[in-house]
Amino acid sequence: MKKLTGLMAKAVLFCAVIALAGGGFTLTANAAKLTLKLGHIQTENDFWHLGALKFKEELEKRSNGDITLNIYPNSTLGGDRDLVEGMQMGTVDFGLIAGVLGNFEDTIGLLELPYLFDSQEEFNTIIHGPIGQEIAQNVLDKSGVRILNWWDRGPRQTTSNKPINKLADLKGLKIRLPEIPAMVASWRAMGANPTPMAWSEVYTGLEQNVIEAQENPVPFIYGGRIHEVQKYIALTDHKYEYVTIAMSDQRWQSLNDEQRKIIVDAANAATAYENKLVLDKTNELLETMKKEGLQVTQPDKKELATAARSVHEEFAKTVDLDLYKRILKELGR
């Protein structure tokens, strides 16, 4: 009996220590080492990877080493769609995901319409305002993927085997696009022949002339060494681009408040770091590619935009026409 009483006393003392440390079993969760996984499709040279390394640094610093992050670049965990599906299943904790989210929740697809925005400022007005919050909530509700923040990537440009100076130069052009319906519809309206293809296949596809062109932000083009297999870059500025630093909501729900705060704060710090990299280095990377032989053209963007916008409203009807009109109203159109 004395032995039992002693054990009970120790149990009471243990619970008291736990309560003093913060209540419930939070101490146990905090003390546990947490190892998380982040995947992305780019190379180690790309700004995405540098931003991911900053996220890792901030996570580990802010958690005093209790949270560690393993990063898997180069589509090691699969392409964009695979990463989203991994986050849905809880096998991937974080992904750097762009427009492919539109295949899982329709409204984010509106951001993928080429020439919807005329500048980075217009784009930022939408994604960092109430409409952006609404879209992020839609993504969470429909896909189980939580957008922690939006990273800038700069405007998308078009590389090709021939110079592009006007709309007519796009006629029949076999251009690789991501698997994003809004982009396919708009490029088709501009006269091109869209060919959806995984990013990991693009370099070889261009090298073997399976495709004739592709489009991406300058840092992405440089990181993928596209200038080695393309002669021209047209400064089309057709889409002001983002990538989300996204998280599995399944993983999020398993964490306590302190861990969640560390993750959000680390994601915000990584966002500021990556956005500054893009702002400071994009022109420098373009100049580097020019020195290595890439030739620049300046096509008539108004002509391209008129053609692309001819299908915007019809596409919006398949998604959310009211939200599309609210975006235009917010932009003063």
What sign does the dihedral 172-176-182-184 (CA atoms) show?
Answer: positive
Contact 249, 270 (CB under 8 A): no
Whole-number Å distance between alpha carbons of 27 and 256:
10
Average pLDDT along the chain:
90
User: In this predicted model, what pLDDT tens digit does every residue of 80-104 receive, in sequence order?
Assistant: 999 999 999 999 999 999 888 988 9
What is the reported pLDDT for 178?
Answer: 87
Provide the whole-model pTM.
0.79
Average pLDDT for 135-143:
96
| Predicted local distance difference test score (pLDDT) of residue 141 | 97
What is the DSSP code (8-state) at residue 238? -
Q: Is the pLDDT higher at 4 or at 268? A: 268
Average pLDDT over residues 14-18: 38
In the predicted model, what is the mean pLDDT of residues 52-76? 97
161 exposure class (CB count in 10 Å sphere: 0-12, 13-18, 19+)? middle
pLDDT-wise least confident of 6-15, 115-124, 211-220: 6-15
* Domain locations in the chain as residue ranges: 33-330
- Percent of the chain past pLDDT 70, that is, above it, reads 91
pLDDT at 30 > cutoff 80: no
Alpha carbon distances (Å) from 308 to 169, 187, 237? 14, 7, 13
**CATH number of the 33-330 domain:** 3.40.190.170
Measured distance CA(163)–CA(127) in Å, rounded: 33
